[in-house]
Amino acid sequence: MPIHDQSYRRYGGGRTSPGRAWTVIARAGILTMIRKRAFLGLLVFAWLPFIVRAVQIYITANFPQTAVFAPTAQTFREFLEQQEFFVFVVTIYVGAGLIANDRRANALQIYLSKPLMRSEYIAGKAAVLFAFLLLVTWVPSMLLLLLQVLFAGSFAFLRNNLFLFPAITVASFLQVLVATFTMLALSSLSKSARYVGILYAGIIFFTAAIYGAMYAITGDSSLSWLSIGSNLTQVVDVVFRIKPRYATPWPVSFIVIVGLVVVSLSVLERRVRGVEVVT
């Protein structure tokens, strides 16, 4: 008689309540990414501007002769603008394969045969990209704000620019939201992560090029709504209480951004299914 029967046994343990599967997906996705050395290198690289800004804040706080370089509200807006490049790279690196790889491996029918809704699957995948994008936008921006208080030894700057906390939060989340859902929608359209990455870059550059060409022809920036990047810039400028740099009314840019997110969600709703029906 065997001491321990290694055949199939029934499970008598507990089960977690439904609705938490997205956390499992998010956790697994985040762990998978941070195991990649190249990605860790990218994250380090994405934090270099933070280090530069931190040094700037330290020097201006401790050496009065460098006061001309003292941070202002504009500094935080510029920092977020610098991070746009890393948002772009991280979005492609992390996001391109999030759904495309699952589609390539027919994993959707595995996921959706488990007790999780399609919205949970999308939320889990979105959380992976969302987390890393916040890590290169909102987290360093807020840390810079904290460092400013610490190095200056007073709350004066924060008191005078109290709007910075919500401004950084809203601007970061807006950038991250648009990048996340646009990329997820594109990722759901293909089985090739490489193709998705190229498609995302193409859309960003193509819309910018179209606007650039129209601006060169007309000399008017009122067509900036054609470019995804310009729409974000326009709205974020308003959030930071800066004069918008394009002639397009900011509500128009905001509507384009909201429209993009809605279209992306609609694409995800159609593409994330357990079975693909071709009629």
Q: Alpha-carbon distance 222 to 244, whole Å?
A: 11
200 binds another protein (CB under 8 A): no
CB 87 within 8 A of CB 136: yes
**Stretch of 108-116, 169-177, 181-189, 260-268 lying at the interface with another protein (CB under 8 A):** 108-116
Identify the helix (H) or strand (E) that includes residue 249: none
SS3 at position 70: coil
Q: Which two tokens stand for residue 268?
A: 């995800």
104 binds another protein (CB under 8 A): yes
Hey, which residues between 114 and 153 contact another protein (CB under 8 A)? Answer: 114-117
CB atoms within 10 A of CB 51: 11
In the chain, % helix, strand, coil (3-state, to 5) comes to 75, 0, 25
275 binds another protein (CB under 8 A): yes
**Stretch of 16-24, 147-155, 165-173, 200-208 lying at the interface with another protein (CB under 8 A):** 16-24
106 binds another protein (CB under 8 A): yes
Q: Least separation, in Å, of the C-beta of 5 and another protein?
A: 10
User: If you search the block for the tokens 């609705």, which residue do you land on?
Assistant: 19
7 binds another protein (CB under 8 A): yes
159 binds another protein (CB under 8 A): no
Q: Which is nearer to another protein, 20 or 245 (CB)?
A: 20
Q: Alpha-carbon distance 116 to 130, whole Å?
A: 20
- Residues forming contacts to another protein in the complex (CB under 8 A) are 6-11, 13-18, 21, 24-25, 28, 32, 101-102, 104-107, 109-117, 273-275, 277, 279
